[in-house]
Structure 1
Amino acid sequence: MVGFKHIGWLPEPKKEGNNLGILSFETAKTMSRLISLYKSVSDEEISRLRNDVIRSKGVAFLNSDDEGFLLGLACAERLEDLDRAAAAVARLGKKCSDFGLERFDLVYKELKEGVVSSGKLRYGSSAAERKIRKIERLVAATSGLHGAVESLAEMEVSERKMKQWKSRDSDLQKANYDNLIQKLEIQRREIRNFKEISLWNKSFDKCVDLMARVVLVVHRRICGLFGPRKRIPMKEKVFPHSGPLLTASKPVMVRFYSRKSGLFEEEEEGVRTNRIFHSAGPETVGGSGLALRYANVILTAEKYLDSDVAISHVERESFYEMLPENLKILVRAKLSKNMRCAEEGDALLAEGWRDAVAEILQWLAPVADDTVRWQMERSFEKTRFDARPTALLLQTLHFADREKTEAAIAEILVGLSCVFRFENRRFVHCEEFY
């Protein structure tokens, strides 16, 4: 392997190589994560990040309009994602017979410290793209195997139930049972075929070698894209509209010797390191633990604005309970003032409020959408084989200024209440609801 073999390790006895077997599913998830990272730093994705995400009104107004700061957050989060993928590769590497692959944790540690080269493989090269396509084929086959195994388990449950029914000696039950047995045989044959072409029958060495190469390529790409930056100090809190930048040391090619690596010591199996996530300051929505709640409030309000029917009392009560106490007070005060100044049934006023709410939601709803998307992508990461680029925290409500976010939400709720009142539909009535 480039960067691992011929690097000066003392020879050791080779261990017998083994195939992944049941670990193929976990390996496929790690491979999917690496493909996602590879795609997330493509020219197209970086252009979208710089020209669309960072310059979007919601991100610029709520989070920051400092491009350097936002790019620093993007770089830090992608590096954290890569660290977690590398940790998974290192755990599988312990089962490899190749000496360098077995100590991938040390190799990656030295790479991050800038004392070992990332090798000759370049991002976007034909060689790199061939490896990505190979990994994608393996992941697709392993995903197919996973689905086939789950289907077989369901069919075997049906088989056990039908065995009991068969005892009734019904011709129909016997025919159904025989039909199921044929399907079981076909399903087991399909599983055997999937095992042949999937990761199930691939060796640890081949799979870890493939993944390790992608890790090195992605790390080199991230450092090349974002340039030398100062790493965000995780002991400090990140506040909206300001923040330190990232850095990476200049790579130098040297030999290194075997010693214990502490890179992944703090990350146990299944435990994520979330330094960027926990760096949000108390003045941010995420630092207050309200990002997902506020995102749901915004998206529910958007749904109600597009609705042409009345909202039930239960729905209104449920929606109201989503608001923290300080936001309830803010909405109540604004709503009472607006209702006193308005006349019942003013259609023009209702249209004006509708336009105002729609204008706010135009830039606020995408941030709320990305907040929910970010949470879902992380929640389902353990079971998914999805290799699409994931959302970044900087495009969510996590680092958003809490005061500005709450002011925008209050305007939406007041406007929505006025729209429903003046259109003779019930939503929020200041005396009844509050």
Structure 2
Amino acid sequence: MVAATMSYFPGLSMTTTGTTAISSGGFHFFRFRADSKPQPMTLGILAFDAAKTISRLVALYRSLTDAEFNRLRKEIIRSEGVAYLNSRDERLLLNLACAEQLEDLEVAVDAISRLCARCSNRSLSRFDLVYADLKQGLIDIGKLDYGSRKVNRIVEKIEKYLSTTASLYSALESLTQMETSERKLKQWKKNFKENPLQKTNFDLFESKIAFQRKQVRSLKDVSLWNQTFDKVVSLMAKLVCVVYARICILYGPYISKLPNAVKRKQQQNNIRIHPETFAPIMHRDESRHSMWNSGPITSTSKKSGLSKFHSRELNVNMLLLPDKASLLAGLMPGNSCVSEESSGGNLWRNNVLLHSAARTTVGGAGLAMRYANVIMMAEQFLQGPGSMGEGARGQVYEMLPAQLREKVRAKLRGLRSGGRGGGGGREMAEGWREAVERMMGWLGPVAEDTLRWQAERNTEKQRPGSLDTKGRVLLIQTLHFADVEKTEAAIVEVLVGLSCIYMYEDTRSCYYESD
């Protein structure tokens, strides 16, 4: 074990068993003994991987403001699409949101741990022990004031490094292209005799590439490229602790297993900002049953034949365990958006939340992306009926699973046999249009967020030259935990409505052509 002397907060003193010693002092994440160390290494090419991790941390930091948390509770969770397709159980949805944010933070911690191995100071290589102490509640993380002047300076410094690293990546791309042209130019000069005009152009190109090389060197000096592993790891570790502390403060009233890290003064300030947050849902009405139904469009309709979608009752005391066990271990058996197979096991590092969806959900059935694309194409057809050609409609039809195709055909047959098909005239078509527009008003945003969630998490395609630190879409905003029967019923209604609109438009166009 490595013993490190670290200063976190003023007036705080504690020692963890054989691993870390925390003494009083200013807000300095690490303060080390002066001993002989090798020359610190700089990040070099690893700067771009570090930048991706830092952008993830900053995005997570930005998503934890009071305004964003209130938006989560008052807008996102209560939105029609989330409430109908996922659940009306606010506590369940908040637990899932917290689990996803902690999982994102865990991914960043893994990346930091890999960088720690290259730190020249041995104390920094044991950040995993510090983070473990944080999760055990052994460190007073209430001292890490989210949004304080010191923390804001850290975030500003990190964002400056991100900006210059992104500029460096773009500059290196341009330099690579210019050097390729330079090699071709040298080869051409060997084979052909240049004239005076060409010599002028060659000189201009050489001056441009010289300036580009100078710019790259300058950007390396001010970006993450030339920063030491010790410095970068220290900054990232500070931000991890700040983010974890903030998550505990925001979600603590709903998840009792999170460390109670909020000091009295800080807690009073948070109660003043949004008092309803600190009135835990499970204590508001203990006599009320905690089962909620997600409100179906036609919950009592005999036509839909859909059963109500119940959320399992939560045992929040078991939801977030400090030993990296499944975030969902406290869910009781029953119909839910979370599967029983994922209710245990040390799966945190393997996207446990993503793989926890029950088979009765769209994500559990592996249909989230497919259905999202179908819905987005349907929205395009609704906005421009002229784009509903045979080829486009055939493409959407091929994207549907076999059972959904049969449901669409059966619905259309029923409408035709009842005389309510596309030949019903303008009023019928307008009625279908209004109905489809109402459904797309809540179904479209969920599908759009599904595609956005996938794009944001695809880090392999994320270019270091265009790092985004804005807040990210949460999994509860997508189709992943949506009830598959409700989702398919909504898609069927939309596609049938579009078919009726198309048949009316096609009949009308044929009538005008015959005239």
TM-score normalised over the length of structure 2: 0.73
State how far apart, in whole Å, the 1-side matches of 2:64 and 2:321 are: 17
**Shift in Å at residue 70 of structure 1?**
0.2
State how far apart, in whole Å, the 2-side matches of 1:180 and 1:348 are: 68
**Shift in Å at residue 331 of structure 1?**
0.5
Spell out the pairing of 1:69-148 with structure 2 (5 A cutoff).
Answer: 69-118=92-141, 120-148=143-171
Spell out the pairing of 1:169-318 with structure 2 (5 A cutoff).
Answer: 169-171=193-195, 173-227=198-252, 229=255, 241-242=311-312, 244=314, 245=316, 246-247=319-320, 273-318=350-395
Spell out the pairing of 1:42-81 with structure 2 (5 A cutoff).
Answer: 42-81=65-104
The C-alpha deviation readout for 1:223-266, integer Å capped at 9, x for no partner, is: 1110162679xxxxxx86335343466xxxxxxxxxxxxxxxx9
**Shift in Å at residue 52 of structure 1?**
0.9
Q: CA RMSD of the aligned region, Å?
A: 2.6
**Shift in Å at residue 6 of structure 1?**
4.7
- Do the aligned residues in 2 keep the contact of 1:142 with 1:198 (CA within 8 Å)? yes
Q: Secondary structure at the match of 1:16?
A: coil
Identify the match of residue 401 of structure 1 among 460, 464, 483.
483
**Shift in Å at residue 216 of structure 1?**
0.5
The amino acid that maps onto 1:363 is W
The amino acid that maps onto 2:53 is T
The C-alpha deviation readout for 1:270-308, integer Å capped at 9, x for no partner, is: x96200000000000000000010000000000011114
- Do the aligned residues in 2 keep the contact of 1:240 with 1:399 (CA within 8 Å)? no
State how far apart, in whole Å, the 1-side matches of 2:130 and 2:124 are: 9
Closer/same/farther in 2, CA of residues 200 and 424 from structure 1, 3 Å limit: same
- Do the aligned residues in 2 keep the contact of 1:165 with 1:173 (CA within 8 Å)? no
The amino acid that maps onto 2:206 is I
Closer/same/farther in 2, CA of residues 52 and 119 from structure 1, 3 Å limit: closer
- Do the aligned residues in 1 keep the contact of 2:446 with 2:479 (CA within 8 Å)? yes
**Shift in Å at residue 168 of structure 1?**
2.7
- Do the aligned residues in 1 keep the contact of 2:7 with 2:22 (CA within 8 Å)? no
- Do the aligned residues in 1 keep the contact of 2:32 with 2:123 (CA within 8 Å)? no
**Shift in Å at residue 30 of structure 1?**
1.3
State how far apart, in whole Å, the 2-side matches of 1:26 and 1:230 are: 35
The amino acid that maps onto 1:417 is S
Identity %: 49
- Do the aligned residues in 2 keep the contact of 1:119 with 1:216 (CA within 8 Å)? no
The amino acid that maps onto 1:415 is G
State how far apart, in whole Å, the 2-side matches of 1:93 and 1:281 are: 37
Identify the match of residue 440 of structure 2 among 361, 386, 390.
361
**Shift in Å at residue 407 of structure 1?**
0.2
Closer/same/farther in 2, CA of residues 336 and 299 from structure 1, 3 Å limit: same
Q: Does residue 157 in structure 1 map to residue 184 in structure 2?
A: no
State how far apart, in whole Å, the 1-side matches of 2:141 and 2:156 are: 21
- Do the aligned residues in 1 keep the contact of 2:388 with 2:502 (CA within 8 Å)? no
Report what 1:422 is aligned to. Answer: 504
Stretch deviating more after TM superposition (372-381 or 218-227)? 372-381
- Do the aligned residues in 2 keep the contact of 1:339 with 1:418 (CA within 8 Å)? no
Identify the match of residue 7 of structure 2 among 2, 15, 18.
2
State how far apart, in whole Å, the 2-side matches of 1:16 and 1:186 are: 31
The C-alpha deviation readout for 1:34-89, integer Å capped at 9, x for no partner, is: 10110111112111111111000000000000000000000000000000101111
The amino acid that maps onto 1:370 is D
**Shift in Å at residue 405 of structure 1?**
0.3
State how far apart, in whole Å, the 1-side matches of 2:118 and 2:482 are: 43
The amino acid that maps onto 1:421 is M
Report what 1:319 is aligned to. Answer: 396
The amino acid that maps onto 2:192 is R
Report what 1:430 is aligned to. Answer: none
State how far apart, in whole Å, the 2-side matches of 1:22 and 1:179 are: 30
TM-score normalised over the length of structure 1: 0.86
State how far apart, in whole Å, the 1-side matches of 2:310 and 2:356 are: 11
Report what 2:334 is aligned to. Answer: none
Identify the match of residue 388 of structure 1 among 444, 466, 470.
470
Report what 2:338 is aligned to. Answer: none
Identify the match of residue 455 of structure 2 among 376, 398, 401.
376
State how far apart, in whole Å, the 2-side matches of 1:240 and 1:174 are: 77
Report what 2:45 is aligned to. Answer: 22
The C-alpha deviation readout for 1:142-162, integer Å capped at 9, x for no partner, is: 110011001111111122223
**Shift in Å at residue 98 of structure 1?**
2.9
- Do the aligned residues in 2 keep the contact of 1:229 with 1:248 (CA within 8 Å)? no
Spell out the pairing of 1:322-333 with structure 2 (5 A cutoff).
Answer: 322-333=399-410
State how far apart, in whole Å, the 2-side matches of 1:297 and 1:272 are: 31
The C-alpha deviation readout for 1:93-119, integer Å capped at 9, x for no partner, is: 122233331101121122212233337
Report what 1:335 is aligned to. Answer: 412
Q: Secondary structure at the match of 1:7?
A: strand
State how far apart, in whole Å, the 2-side matches of 1:28 and 1:198 are: 10
Closer/same/farther in 2, CA of residues 226 and 26 from structure 1, 3 Å limit: same
Q: Secondary structure at the match of 1:75?
A: helix
Stretch deviating more after TM superposition (168-177 or 341-350)? 168-177
Stretch deviating more after TM superposition (121-130 or 62-71)? 121-130
State how far apart, in whole Å, the 2-side matches of 1:44 and 1:414 are: 40
State how far apart, in whole Å, the 1-side matches of 2:158 and 2:452 are: 25
State how far apart, in whole Å, the 2-side matches of 1:313 and 1:99 are: 66
Q: Secondary structure at the match of 2:396?
A: helix
Aligned residues: 401
- Do the aligned residues in 2 keep the contact of 1:80 with 1:273 (CA within 8 Å)? no
Stretch deviating more after TM superposition (349-358 or 7-16)? 7-16
The amino acid that maps onto 2:7 is V
